[in-house]
Structure 1
Amino acid sequence: MAKSQETTFIHWKGLIKITPDERHKTIALSNSWRRVLVVYASESNYQEVLQHINKYVVTLEERKVKKIKSPLPGALLQTFLIILASIPIFLELPHPFKIDLLVPIFILCFAQATLWLSRFMAYPVLLGVAYSALTIFYIGFQSREIGFLFKEGPYTNFELISSWEWPSLIILFISLGYFTWFSLSAIKGKLGTMLEKDMSGEQ
């Protein structure tokens, strides 16, 4: 475990706080919301290491800016919204419409990965959204020979579902629309992922 942390890459621009501990010969480096790294020095080079770090780290006081709020609450809220938006995809749709259970699980997992890990995870989300939409349209435009009193078939499945069943399909497409917006925003960089922001020193 100790070996794995011997070499670590961080951006100086993301560090805004230095917490030296001369007793234990450590220097803690923090960004706007968490401790990023603890540097261990020896008795002989502690002051030299501290001076070197002070040269590169610009503290909040020196920047003369307000302390940036932790992005964690916003990320947790977005996590909740993703879960909420995925619920309509999990719900049972009016017969004969059906989406395989693996698809909403796939969309949900990759959407969360997009938020927390990498924007490139948004591409599988778009794939899942496209598959879901195409499945609904494919089933919806399939026709069936059914005779009614005033009109003979064939009827498409869209025509056969009742007015009280339509809301579930509408809510489903709103959900798919949300995931489309979320994914495209992430790909364009408008919604930076937590890991990418942290690694690039933006937080």
Structure 2
Amino acid sequence: MTEALAMLMPALALALLHFLWQGALVGLLAWLALVLLSNARPQARYVVACLALLACVLLPVWSLAQALTGEDAAAVARGALAAGGIDTTMPATQGGALRVLPAPSVGALPWIVALWAAGVCLLSLRMACGLLWVRRLCRDAHAEAGSRWQACVDRLAPRLGIGRRVLLRLVDAGDSPVTAGWWRPWAAIRTQAWT
């Protein structure tokens, strides 16, 4: 167990450190694509955002796999370029200007992984609290019998391209309208806002 953990800890820390620049690069590229697609259809912008999120999941997994298998990413890239007939010799540098970044010290690796795990736990707790709030809101929401507002929502839905029926519910709490539900979508508004 400790042997596996000793091998996993540096690989995981290295993957997390690499994701700092990888995530920043993905974010920058996604932002540029969204700026260029500002007048495009929402579906195109949605695809860009989903691809960026997918890249943010796959890049750390790829970095972790590279670190665990011991393959040097630069060697893999040089091999792929050489197979394509591209010269992969390193440029000459004056005074050793091109240097490899040092690996983090072994003592820092457990702290890097522990801080990352603490961040994951805090963000997971935040998401769980948000889901519990939406669940409570769904439970406490009530429909107004024969509501003219439900009829308004029913008329607007086809004009907005929404094929499924969206139920309108009233809630006693909340500062703004809320939509929830993937299988059975519904919208909630504060009672005082619509009376």
Using the size of structure 2 for normalisation, the TM-score is: 0.28
| Higher-helix-fraction structure | 2
Using the size of structure 1 for normalisation, the TM-score is: 0.27
User: Which has the higher relative contact order, 1 or 2, with Cα contacts under 8 A spaced 6 or more apart?
Assistant: 1
